[in-house]
Structure 1
Amino acid sequence: MGRDSGKQKKENMKALSPEQEAGLKQKAEEISKGLQSYTWRDLETGGKFTHNDKLTFIRDDMLIVGCDIGSERHYARAIDAKGRELSKGAYSFENSAEGFQSAKDWALCLAAQHGKNQIVLGVEPTGHYWFSLAAWMIAKGISVVQVNPYAVKQTKELADNSQAKNDAKDPKLIAELVKNGNYGVPYLPEDVYAELRVLCTLRDQLMEDRVRNMNRLHREMKIVFPEYREAFGKIDGIFTLSVLANAPLPSELVALGEDGVKDIWHAEKLRGGGYKRAKEIVRLAGVSAGLTQGAEARKIAIVSFVGKVMELAAELEEIEAQIALKCREIPRAD
């Protein structure tokens, strides 16, 4: 585990006189004003960002910070362009605005002490936990790059023949990968593209939920009404779902009869050629070989899955409408 960030700050300053400390703070403020962050737009839109380009980007006046990302707390270590460590162990900071600011102050202090004018932050992308940190640092003038987790794993094994995770060791390995040009520039969408990414991700999640509930519905129907595919045809169609929401068991379909099934469709104001299947649905329900034990409990399950599928279908329709609207905001979309 990293040491407390407050103690780390004091250790960085404890050997300095008041005059030296004031001068260091002033120098750090000057460096902060001159920080310039570079994003994918600056580095990659002009052409392929080759390995030589990545090595050239890492200059002698740059502080290289490696950061091991966690859900609540991050750990950082700093080196120079020659691989010499400039930090005293791992610096820990919280995943919050206050924590981000403390990490920036820590990096600026090191930059001022060692004559560095720019800062690059290398991260090993861990889920979604690095998004806020990257956006915050870029906004403050610090370039953010990412290294491949597989490369970190392999480098870790070469370093000490161990793949065990270590909050103190990993940040330095990440910084060394950045120094050697083994990194990529993350794409962080902006404006309407950021909106579209969120909406499309949500759509994918809703689609997965819908498929999951459809599979569960298929399982229950196969048990209580094995002939359901022959009877209904398209199981996820509105004609089928509206019937199953009211009468999911073969015995209930028989009790409804052909006219009762049609009445359900009338109540839902459905139109089309589905009405001609009512007679076949009732006939097959009457001769079904479905399991009757536990049928009432399975009815509850079927109605639940049908409700979720229909609810998700409505949500998907709304999300897709929002995506279509956002697409119109893209220049030349028409």
Structure 2
Amino acid sequence: MNVKANQTKKQVNVENQANLLLSKEELRKRMEGVEKELKSYTWRELETNGKFSKNDKLSFITDDMLIVGCDIGSETHYIRAIDIRGRELGKGAFEFSNTAEGFENAKAWMLKHAAQNEKRQIVLGLEPTGHYWFALAAWMISKGISVVQVNPYAVKQSKEIEDNSQHKDDRKDPKLIANLVKDGNYGMPYLPEKIYADMRRLSMFRDQLTEDRIRNINRLHRELKIYFPEYMDAFGKIDGAFALEVLKVSCIPSEIAALGTEGLRNIWHDAKLRGRGYSRAGKIVNHAEKSVGLEDGTSVGRETVKWFSEQIMKLDEQLARIESTLHKKCKEIPYAENILEIKGVGENILAGIVAEMGDISRFDDVKEIQKLSGMGLVAC
């Protein structure tokens, strides 16, 4: 009896394993079928006459679509999937890294749930968090998965609906995002391409360098207030070419006085500076001779000021190169000349506008541009 029972159990186990392998093979075939049919949609395909209304958004989410919500992190992302009725598909959140391997794992997880639930398309909703979502969105779109954005404020407001709690959770947020997508509360992301992508990166880089320059100027002011309090009367503008060349040599009043008028002019002459700055040499020396600046710690102060001065001059050169490149890029835009005809708008302003808005021709009404800029203009 025991021998027969053991043989029966072994036979059942073999049959169960065969069925399991068969189901895995069938699942793999279904996943391949879903992957072949995937088609990503962007604002180009969905906007009609520059608009993508709430009804259009609801119509886009169909019964055969897997809705995936994604909570974006700097290194790790979390996703959860639901159907069009809001029923969760799968157990809990799936965690994946911000790498190629992580993206592949996330895609396989989505395809598995789509195949198991007879879904033919996938839409990924995400809450734009800084710059961390750029690579993920571009990768998913290239693999045929549509990507949409939800408003972070809407996610915050809907937290309490889910579980009567305002508590934030990386595993809770993906479901909130997916439900917002299901209800049509989303927008299509716009990622600049070609020349517009170049201009956005250049403009951001220019802003960062400008911030660094301002920071160094503020630190330079602090040092000069200690060792040469009269520097504003002497130099006038400390980030000017003439002032920086002197400060590269020394900021100590006694040393500037020892250089004398001819010494300062020789510094400017060696730097090949031209202009009216030579006439200030005598004034700078006079203020240096009467200065009440500290005399202790001057060796460190001299090196500190020299370093800040050199950094400001390097940043000026880099900013000049970036602005030159931006101006050249502006000329490649078809409608640039029309915008430059507007009084008060120059190439720097145009570069800033295009960097933020991208291709302006995608807008059909000025109100769309106003809304994008965050201005709710009204007439009184």
Q: How far apart are 1:153 and its partner, in Å?
A: 2.0
Which of the residues 97, 103, 107 maps onto 1:104? 107
Which residue number in structure 2 is paired with residue 247 of structure 1?
250
Residue in 2 that maps onto 1:273: 276
- For 1:71, what is the secondary structure of its paired residue? coil
- 1:315 pairs with one of 295, 305, 318: 318
Partner of 1:184: 187
Distance 2:180 2:212 in 1: 39
Q: Which amino acid aligns with 1:65?
A: V
Question: SS of 2:139's equivalent?
Answer: helix
2-side partners of 1:43 and 1:216: how far apart?
Answer: 51
In structure 2, how many angstroms separate the alpha carbons of the residues matched to 1:296 and 1:322? 40
5 Å matches for 1:203-218? 203-218=206-221
How does 1:127-276 map onto structure 2 within 5 Å?
Answer: 127-276=130-279
Q: Over aligned residues, Cα RMSD in angstroms?
A: 1.9
Tell me the percent identity: 61
| Change in CA separation of 1:265 and 1:290 when aligned onto 2, cut-off 3 Å | same
Residues 1:223 and 1:26: Cα distance change in structure 2 (over 3 Å): same
- Show structure 2 runs of 5+ residues with no match: 1-16, 338-380
Instruction: Specify the code of the residue in structure 2 equivalent to 1:321.
Output: S
C-alpha deviation, 1:52, in angstroms: 2.6
- Cα distance change of structure 1 residues 273 and 173 upon mapping to structure 2, 3 Å threshold: same
- Where does residue 284 of structure 1 map in the other structure? 287
Equivalent residues, number: 321
Query: SS of 1:17's equivalent?
Result: helix
CA deviation vs aligned residue, 1:184-225 (integer Å, no higher than 9, x gap): 221111112111111111111001100110111112112222
Q: Normalising by the residue count of structure 1, what TM-score does the alignment of the two structures yield?
A: 0.90
Structure 1 stretches lacking a partner, 5+ long: 1-13
Alignment-mate amino acid for residue 92 of structure 1: E
1 or 2 for the larger relative contact order (CA 8 Å, sep ≥6)?
A: 1
Deviation at 1:45, TM superposition (A): 6.8
Alpha-carbon distance between aligned partners in 2 of 1:76 and 1:251, rounded to the nearest angstrom = 66
| SS at structure 2 position matched to 1:65 | strand
SS of 1:257's partner is: helix
TM-score (norm 2): 0.80
CA deviations on 1:25-62 (whole Å, 9 max, x unpaired) are 22221221121111223334732323232222212211
1:107 counterpart letter in structure 2: M
User: Structure 1 counterpart of 2:307, which letter?
Assistant: S
Distance change >3 Å, CA 21–CA 314, structure 1 → 2: same
One-letter identity of the residue aligned with 1:121? L
Deviations 1:114-152 (A, max 9, x none): 121111101112222211110000001111111222222
Letter in 2 for 1:206: L
Asked if residue 33 in structure 1 is aligned to residue 36 in structure 2, the reply is yes
Q: 2: distance between equivalents of 1:147 and 1:170?
A: 11
C-alpha separation in 1, matches of 2:108 and 2:73: 20
Distance 2:18 2:59 in 1: 35
Query: Which residue of the other structure, out of 59, 80, 87, is the alignment partner of 1:84?
Result: 87
- Deviation for aligned residue 1:332: 5.2
Relative distance call for 1:139 and 1:15 in structure 2 (3 A) is farther
Residue identity opposite 2:318 in structure 1:
E
Q: Which residue of structure 2 aligns with residue 54 of structure 1?
A: 57
